[in-house]
């Protein structure tokens, strides 16, 4: 037991710990750059937490006989471990949830403004998540793309949920987003189509998808 208790005062265990953590980081980079497995933002956060463990090992190895140094190393180790655990739990929840607005890993392309719209307006969340006539996730086989269809609703700006969605549409018309490291117009990645009651009461915005209006007569 004395041997086990004295491990923290020896340099070799700290260096071994640092080496193992460093190897994990190297393996992650190998997966990313050699195998093409690009990380999501949560993966990056978890790597950062693991780097905290690496720094803890380096600190501990610098002066393992010094109590203050060991306390600092233990503190960095503990904070990094808890932070990594919390991130990992949130990541698992993202991957297993059935609610697309409970968040998932970063979408490609990324529309953070849409998530902000959902967060600010409970009515908009209800309209999109519960009161739709149809919802298609990964629309057109594009990961993270959603199609929402509503029928028979009053599209009045005086309704909070309608105004929230209209604000998002306006944002898409005037802002840019980052796609594969390039700044592009957001209106190239969304499509808004509204068919009113009157023949000339139609609206089409955005260029992202091949969704268009057809009116026909049947007899």
Q: What is the count of structural domains for the chain?
A: 2
Looking at residue 20, which CATH number applies to its domain? 1.20.1550.10
Higher pLDDT among residues 20 and 197, named by residue: 20
Counting residues of the chain whose pLDDT is more than 70, the rounded percentage is 82
Structural domain contains residue 152: yes
Structural domain contains residue 107: yes
Domain range enclosing 153: 102-205
**How crowded is residue 165: how many other Cβ atoms within 10 Å of its Cβ?**
23
Whether residue 201 is found in the same domain as residue 106: yes
Whether residue 109 is found in the same domain as residue 85: no
**How crowded is residue 64: how many other Cβ atoms within 10 Å of its Cβ?**
20
CA geometry: angle 24, 37, 139, nearest 5 deg:
140
Q: Coil, helix or strand for 154?
A: coil
Structural domain contains residue 196: yes
Whether residue 158 is found in the same domain as residue 73: no
Query: Where is average pLDDT lowest: 72-76, 158-162, 215-219?
Result: 215-219
Structural domain contains residue 215: no
Whether residue 39 is found in the same domain as residue 110: no
Element (H, E) at 88: helix 67-96
Structural domain contains residue 217: no
Whole-structure pTM value? 0.48
Residue ending a domain, among 52, 75, 96, is 96
Structural domain contains residue 214: no
Q: Coil, helix or strand for 58?
A: helix
Residues whose CB is less than 8 angstroms from the CB of residue 143 and which lie 6 or more positions away in sequence, other chains included: 107, 108
Whether residue 107 is found in the same domain as residue 179: yes
**How crowded is residue 30: how many other Cβ atoms within 10 Å of its Cβ?**
11
pLDDT in tens, 85-106: 988 887 787 667 655 545 555 5
Structural domain contains residue 129: yes
Query: What value does the mean pLDDT take over residues 139-155?
Result: 81
Residue ending a domain, among 67, 96, 125, is 96
Whether residue 121 is found in the same domain as residue 141: yes
What the block records as the tokens of 113 is 């403004």
CA geometry: angle 96, 99, 101, nearest 5 deg:
115
Whether residue 84 is found in the same domain as residue 176: no
Residue ending a domain, among 96, 118, 139, is 96
Query: What value does the mean pLDDT take over residues 147-162?
Result: 84
Whether residue 182 is found in the same domain as residue 108: yes
Whether residue 120 is found in the same domain as residue 84: no
Whether residue 79 is found in the same domain as residue 150: no
E strand spans, 78-214: 134-137, 146-149, 176-179, 182-185, 192-195, 202-205
Q: 137 has which bridge partners?
A: 146
């Amino acid at each position: 037991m004395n041997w086990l208790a004295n491990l923290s005062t020896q340099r070799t265990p700290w260096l071994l710990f640092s080496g193992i953590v460093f190897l994990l980081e190297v393996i992650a980079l190998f997966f990313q750059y050699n195998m093409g497995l690009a990380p999501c933002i949560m993966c990056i956060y978890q790597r950062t937490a693991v780097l905290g463990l690496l720094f803890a090992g380096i600190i501990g190895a610098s002066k393992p006989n010094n109590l203050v140094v060991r306390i600092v190393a233990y503190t960095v180790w503990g904070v990094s471990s808890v932070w990594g655990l919390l991130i990992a739990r949130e990541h698992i929840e993202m991957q297993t949830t059935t609610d697309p607005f409970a968040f998932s890993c970063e979408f490609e392309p990324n529309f953070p403004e849409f998530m902000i719209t959902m967060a600010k307006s409970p009515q908009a969340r209800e309209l999109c998540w519960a009161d739709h006539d149809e919802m298609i996730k990964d629309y057109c086989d594009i990961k993270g793309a959603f199609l929402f269809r509503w029928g028979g609703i009053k599209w009045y700006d005086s309704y909070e949920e309608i105004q929230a969605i209209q604000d998002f549409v306006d944002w898409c018309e005037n802002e840019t987003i980052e796609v594969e490291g390039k700044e592009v117009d957001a209106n190239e990645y969304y499509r808004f189509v509204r068919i009113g009651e009157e023949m000339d009461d139609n609206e089409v915005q955005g260029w992202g998808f091949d969704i268009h209006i057809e009116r026909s007569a049947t007899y």
